[in-house]
Amino acid sequence: MIQPHIAVVDDDAFQRRVLEEYLSRQGYRVSGAESGAELRTLLARRDPVDLILLDVQMPGEDGFAVARFVRERGNIAIIMVTAASDTVDRVVGLETGADDYVVKPYEPRELAARIKSVLRRTGRNNGAPPAANGRLRFGRCILDLDARRLTTLDGDGVALAASEFALLKVFAQHPNQVLSRDRLLDLTSNREMEPFDRSIDLRITRIRRKIEVDPSKPEVIRTVRGAGYIYAPDGD
């Protein structure tokens, strides 16, 4: 299972390390950044961030400015961290696009509960969340919905036919749901173009060769005997 990736942005090195260790123990993948500039570098990597825990009061570029930058360039979940007396900060944080906020000093269990709630609401808790720029994990590949590209985890391009992209997009929109062949034909708008029963099977066979670690034992797009196919984002 691919654990959600959380970025902790705080200029206080001690507080940042405490949060990183605590969230790691909760089962998350955690990266730290002491400023907006470090967060930008982190977001530019090929490891998508699912949620940003963002301190408001930072020297130089404050949390509000960082939140605006993130919102203008993607749909990553944001939880702002504010001081207890700063009601205005909480309001402004939500207005800049934050999904939630926590108030210092906070109980770690409350923070963990809020993180779980935000990840659940934004659809990022199942191991295949839509990250910034519409990038999703498909087995050993990444599908970029905006660019209509499939790449390996190392960034190498993988040839992808338009009909294969359409099918992957449908699976991305219906994770953990059994979809019949007829339903897949309807959703990909290919019923008239490819009316024979085996068209979906052939496309899935081609896709599996590209995304599965072992295409003969598929873990990402599985066959449900007598019913159709299911996309299992986390491989469970």
Instruction: List pLDDT tens digits, range 22-66.
Output: 999 888 889 999 999 999 999 888 778 889 999 888 888 888 888
Task: Name residue, tokens 């294969």.
Answer: 164
Output the pLDDT for position 122: 62
> In which band, very low, low, confident or very high, does the pLDDT at 224 lie, cut at 50, 70 and 90?
very high
Per-residue pLDDT at 96 = 67
pLDDT at 199: 76
Which overall architecture, per CATH, does domain 135-231 show? Answer: Orthogonal Bundle (1.10)
Per residue in 139-177, pLDDT (tens digit) is 999 998 888 889 998 889 998 877 788 899 889 888 888
Peptide bond preceding 105 in cis form (omega within 30 of 0): yes
Q: In the structure encoding, which two tokens stand for residue 119, read together?
A: 């990840």
Q: What is the CATH number of domain 5-121?
A: 3.40.50.2300
How far CA 69 is from CA of 24, 113, 163, in Å, comes to 26, 26, 35
Side by side, the strands of the sheet bearing 51-55 are 29-33, 5-9, 51-55, 77-83, 100-104
Task: Indicate the domain borders of the chain.
Answer: 5-121, 135-231
14 within 8 A of 135, measured Cβ to Cβ: no
Model-level pTM? 0.53
